[in-house]
Structures are given as structure tokens and as C-alpha cells.
Amino acid sequence: MKDNSEKTSLRKLLLEKRDGTSFDLMKIASKSIQKKLKKIESFSNAQKIGAYYPIGSEMLTQDIMQEALSEGKEIFLPKVVGKNIEFRKIQNFSNLEKGSFDIMEPRDECAVNNKLDVILVPTVGISPKGVRLGYGFGFYDRFLAENKIDTISLTLEKQIIKNIPRSDHDVIINWIVTEDKIIDTSKIR
């Protein structure tokens, strides 16, 4: 998937901005996001939740996953398979191992299930209309094009950008949750 130069330079700028956030601030923002997430009906009612294990300066999702598991919900994390991702069920973090791009992924013996109720999508930047800027590999866009699932972006307020160039293959995110607010993108489009 070819990425345009505008997206590439925007991605670099946003990653530098996010990487400059202190770990303490990330912990505080992640806790605030975790509380706000429960106010989104599609998340609070979900039984099968797609999530991701954070890398670098991504929102800390471990407590969100732990809480969902303790409530009897099922958690599924992505595993890269060729040019695509598939979601596999984990019981706890010991089901993970270092996989593609040095990201923690479910082990091969974890069951595959792509029929999820909601999915938390890693985000480098996003517009209020739900146009998401990821890492440029297109894994989530390809997955979400084939699997119609409610999507939620967990991101810092400073990662929301007025305009992000949209490609034909970009899938619009339904909800944005920051440390300060919840945005229903369907009300802005």
C-alpha cells in the first residue's frame, strides 16, 4: 500500500509529538481514557473486544484489557499473518509473545475469531471526522474493510488534527476517546 508524502511527513511529526509525552502523563491520560471508554455503549455492551498491546508511546491498554477480562469479557489481539492481521483470543498476557515489528502478539495456539463486537484501533493521528492516520502499513484498513466492526481510537488530545488526507482504502473510525473527551464521529461527518 503506497503512502503519500503528506501522510508520511504528518505521521513523522505526530509520532515525534507523541513520543515527547512523559510516561507519567501517558499513565494519567490512559486512566482517564479507560474511564471514558465505559460511556460508549458499543464498548460497555461488548463481549468480544479487539484490542492491541501498546508499543512506543501508544495509549496504555493493559488495564483496559485486564478490567474487561475480570468482567468476563473476551479479549482478542491482532497477529500479523502475511499482509493481514487476524484477531486471536487471549486469557491473559502470558498468551503473548514478540511477533512482527517487535509487537506483542497472541501465540499460535490462541484461537482465531475476527467476529468482534468492538475494536480499539491504534492511532498516530486522527481527524474529528474519524479519518485515522496509522503507521502506514494498512493492516487495520484491510481488516476493517472486510469486517464491519464498531471502531474506537484511543489517542491523546494533541493527536487530533483538523485535516488528515484520506485515501480510498481508509476506514473511518466511529469513536475517538482522548484524556479530555469522547467524539462520536458520525455526528461530525
Query: Is the per-residue pLDDT at 125 higher than 50?
Result: yes
For residue range 144-153, what is the model confidence (pLDDT) as tens digits? 999 989 999 9
Residue type at position 138: G
Nearest to residue 108, comparing CAs of 122, 92, 90? 90
Q: Where are the domains of the chain?
A: 5-187
Q: Which pLDDT band holds residue 123 (cuts at 50, 70, 90)?
A: very high
pLDDT at 6: 84
pTM over 0.75: yes
- Computed from CA positions of residues 109, 63, 56, 12, in that sequence, does the dihedral angle turn out positive or negative? positive
Q: Exposed/middle/buried for 41, CB within 10 Å: 0-12, 13-18, 19+?
A: exposed
48-50/118-121 β-pairing: parallel
C-alpha cell at 43: 464498548
What's the pLDDT tens digit per position in 41-100?
A: 999 999 999 999 999 899 999 999 999 999 999 999 999 999 999 999 999 999 999 987
CATH of 5-187, one of 3.30.540.10, 3.40.50.10420, 1.10.620.20, 3.30.2140.20: 3.40.50.10420
1-47 tens-digit pLDDT: 445 788 888 999 899 989 899 999 999 999 999 999 999 999 999 99
For 47-114, where are the E strands, in sequence order?
48-50, 74-81, 84-90, 96-98, 104-106
